[in-house]
Amino acid sequence: MNMITLTINGQSVSVPAGTTVLEAAKEIGVEIPKLCHLKDSNEIGACRICVVEVEGRRNLPASCVLPAEEGMVVKTHTKRVLEARQMNVQMMLSAHPQDCLQCVRSQNCGLQNLSQELGVRDVETVNYEEAVIDEGAVIYRDVNKCILCRRCVAVCEEVQGMTILGALGRGIDTVISPAWHQSLDQVSCTFCGQCVQVCPVGALYERNDVNQVWDMLSSDAHVVVQVAPAVRTALGEEFGLPAGTDVTGKMVTALRRLGFNHVFDTNFTADVTIMEEGHELLERIKTNDLPLLTSCSPGWIRFVEEHYPSLTKYLSTCKSPQQMFGALAKTYLAQVEGIDPASIKTVSIMPCTAKKYEAARPEMNDSGYQDVDVVLTTRELALLMKQAGLQLAKLKDEEFDAPMGMSSGGAVLFGQSGGVMEAALRTLLAAYPDRVKLEESDAGSKVFVDGSEVKVKVVSGLKQARRVLDDIAAGKMPAHFVEIMACPGGCVNGGGQPTVIDQQQRQEIIKKRRISLKDLDKTAVIAGSHENLAVQRLYETFLQHPLSEVSHHLLHTNYKGPEQGATNAEPLPESETSKH
């Protein structure tokens, strides 16, 4: 490896060729402030916050795009550099709404943090024409708060392989928007929320449904709540606990204190999903109706409907665990508890912004009622708890309620990419040893069903999903069973999880959330979905068996194909856009 040596703040440092000054500074413990930078996807030097002074150069280059050179002498925090950074922050603040007290990102805002760190106090605010907030079905855009960092553009295009957002106009008239200034609802946005995760300010955020939940809890309705697996290893971050802390028991206690009549676990219906989808796979293998594509990620479902409508026939007909829960809450739970289903309201706590979109889909009312009434993100649950004065760390641990609170270790793995596949194979191998076998060798593992090899594939992120669908459309996809999640890494990295401004730190936090889920699986009392006694009782007393007529009515659905008018996204016009 070709190494080069440079001097930063009087200290010598050796780094591989191609390393930026920003990265080289970290090697000696110097953190250069930045705002627009996203490693590997948005390294454009647009915000000019990371400027440094380089001996022999008149200008102040942006360190995030400045390659380290042999013998280079760099100073990162001279008076000239600090004044330049302060001026750049002042310019951003001068055209930025001064409503920090009302902003959803107050105290967790990159621009606010920089102004504090740099001591920017006096700002002359210029008059600006107040823009209408794009209040979409799921994600809101406040153009006034946008600082044109293009992080959302980069994550949408470079990470997710989409071109929903772009820079329209030029100079001071530049705005970040979908094509022709349309709403996100008018284009093929999947509502994955990755743009919300990387926005350093309050220009992108999810629709807030907290007050709607308060209204339910104050009514005569019987309000039940379900919690997705990835929430329990991320919620603690909102209350100052270490990343990846499992707060399952304390979260259950908090939800009871809030007044929910029943506190259930989405993992219960994750187990049901495995039972239904596993049997669906076995049936499709018989008829060679393959590949089978998983259907638990609503952002991924919207993506395939909009961009590959002819391939929707390969989607599993299973609803997601969230929607299965809602349907069963208003039928099975109502029957077991003797509750009028019309009085039941279901609330979901999800790590995903697209779940709000999914709950509103017209297909999700096969029980005769809307399956899920309200979806809150992990962030919104934290807000609900803080409004009630609940201190998570001080609460005792309690258990989920019966009959929809028991789950397997496999179910909790739904919170990460690969978890659905692992849970499905775990159950199929254990429940059907005469039909499903695993052969392991030095070359790897192979799964066989009825003597024929079944190839599996796991994909996360829509950019990777596009490659898989291109191969399927071209007849080049060797896999028979494919798990796809919209967000890179799965639900641990969902658009509704706690936001982290520093993206390198965010990746470390996501890893800790994932490790915590794996630990929960390892310590679970039962490993496979088929072992869940509560699920067995559900089938014995209500559903009869997987893929029964009752199951098909309540737990399965169909997705849009070409005959139902699914349309491809309209690309951003070249004349109106500029890449990053």
**The predicted structure's pLDDT at residue 562:** 58
Q: For residue 338, how many other CB atoms are within 10 A of its CB?
A: 6
186 and 274 co-located in one domain: no
Q: Which residues contact 65 (CB under 8 A, 6 or more apart)?
A: 20, 43, 44, 45
Find where tokens 């039962």 sit.
526
Domain of residue 26: give its range.
3-89
131 and 27 co-located in one domain: no
**Closest CA relative to residue 252, chosen from 233, 265, 239, 237:** 265
**Closest CA relative to residue 487, chosen from 160, 233, 205:** 160
Q: For residue 483, how many other CB atoms are within 10 A of its CB?
A: 25
Find where tokens 């093929």 sit.
188
The verdict on whether 109 is a catalytic residue reads: no
The answer to the question of residue 428 being in a domain is yes
Our CA dihedral for 408, 409, 411, 415, rounded to 10 degrees, sits at 160
Pair of tokens at residue 419: 């978890």
The answer to the question of residue 370 being in a domain is yes
| Rounded distance between C-alpha atoms, residue 274 and residue 428, angstroms | 9
Q: Which of 109, 199, 487, 491 is catalytic?
A: 491
Residues of the chain with pLDDT under 50: 565-580
One-letter amino acid at 258 equals L
Give yes or no for a contact between 302 and 191, defined as CB atoms under 8 angstroms apart.
yes
The answer to the question of residue 580 being in a domain is no
**Closest CA relative to residue 292, chosen from 559, 481, 557:** 481
The verdict on whether 206 is a catalytic residue reads: no
Q: At which of 206, 224, 250 does a domain end?
A: 206
The answer to the question of residue 115 being in a domain is no
The verdict on whether 358 is a catalytic residue reads: yes
Secondary structure (3-state) at 305? helix
**The predicted structure's pLDDT at residue 124:** 80
532 and 505 co-located in one domain: yes
Domain count of the fold of the chain: 3
The answer to the question of residue 95 being in a domain is no
439 and 451 co-located in one domain: yes
Q: Label residue 227 left, alpha or beta by phi (over 0 means left) and psi (-120 to 50 means alpha).
A: beta
500 and 472 co-located in one domain: yes
Q: Which residues contact 172 (CB under 8 A, 6 or more apart)?
A: none
Q: Which of 53, 238, 280, 380 is catalytic?
A: 280
| Rounded distance between C-alpha atoms, residue 519 and residue 402, angstroms | 23
Please state, in angstroms and as integers, the Cα–Cα distance from residue 413 to each residue in 72, 88, 274, 481, 499, following that order: 48, 44, 12, 17, 22
**The predicted structure's pLDDT at residue 564:** 53
| Rounded distance between C-alpha atoms, residue 314 and residue 284, angstroms | 10
185 and 220 co-located in one domain: no
DSSP state, residue 243: T
169 and 224 co-located in one domain: no
The verdict on whether 195 is a catalytic residue reads: no
Q: Which of 316, 417, 516, 551 is catalytic?
A: 316
172 and 292 co-located in one domain: no
Q: Which of 296, 318, 352, 487 is catalytic?
A: 296
Pair of tokens at residue 478: 């060797």
Q: Which of 23, 306, 363, 398 is catalytic?
A: 363
Phi, psi of 151, rounded to the nearest 5 degrees: -65, -40
Sheet with strand 456-460: strands edge to edge: 292-293, 481-485, 456-460
- Mind listing the pLDDT tens digit for each residue in 134-174? 888 899 999 999 999 999 999 999 999 999 999 999 888 89
Q: For residue 28, how many other CB atoms are within 10 A of its CB?
A: 15
Please state, in angstroms and as integers, the Cα–Cα distance from residue 403 to each residue in 248, 333, 335, 341, following that order: 17, 8, 11, 16
Q: Which residues contact 416 (CB under 8 A, 6 or more apart)?
A: 230, 489, 490, 491, 492, 513, 514, 517, 518
Q: Which of 276, 277, 422, 483 is catalytic?
A: 277
529 and 549 co-located in one domain: yes
**The predicted structure's pLDDT at residue 213:** 98
DSSP string of 86-151, one letter each residue: HHHHHHHHHTS---TTT-TTTTS-HHHHHHHHTT-----PPP-PPPPPEE-SSEEE-GGG-----H
169 and 292 co-located in one domain: no
Pair of tokens at residue 109: 């805002």
- Mind listing the pLDDT tens digit for each residue in 285-324? 999 999 999 999 999 999 999 999 999 999 999 999 999 9
| Rounded distance between C-alpha atoms, residue 580 and residue 575, angstroms | 14
DSSP state, residue 564: G
Q: At which of 206, 227, 257 does a domain end?
A: 206
**The predicted structure's pLDDT at residue 456:** 95
One-letter amino acid at 165 equals L
The answer to the question of residue 490 being in a domain is yes
Secondary structure of 490-515 in HEC code, one letter for each residue: CHHHCCCCCCCCCHHHHHHHHHHHHH
**Closest CA relative to residue 33, chosen from 149, 112, 119, 114:** 114
The verdict on whether 277 is a catalytic residue reads: yes
Query: Cα–Cα–Cα angle for 503, 380, 357, nearest 5°?
Result: 90
Return the CA Rg of the chain.
25
218 and 271 co-located in one domain: yes
243 and 324 co-located in one domain: yes
Torsional sign, CA 216, 219, 221, 227: positive
On the CB side of 418, how many CA atoms lie within 13 Å of its CA? 4
For the domain that residue 538 is a member of, what is the CATH number?
A: 3.40.50.1780
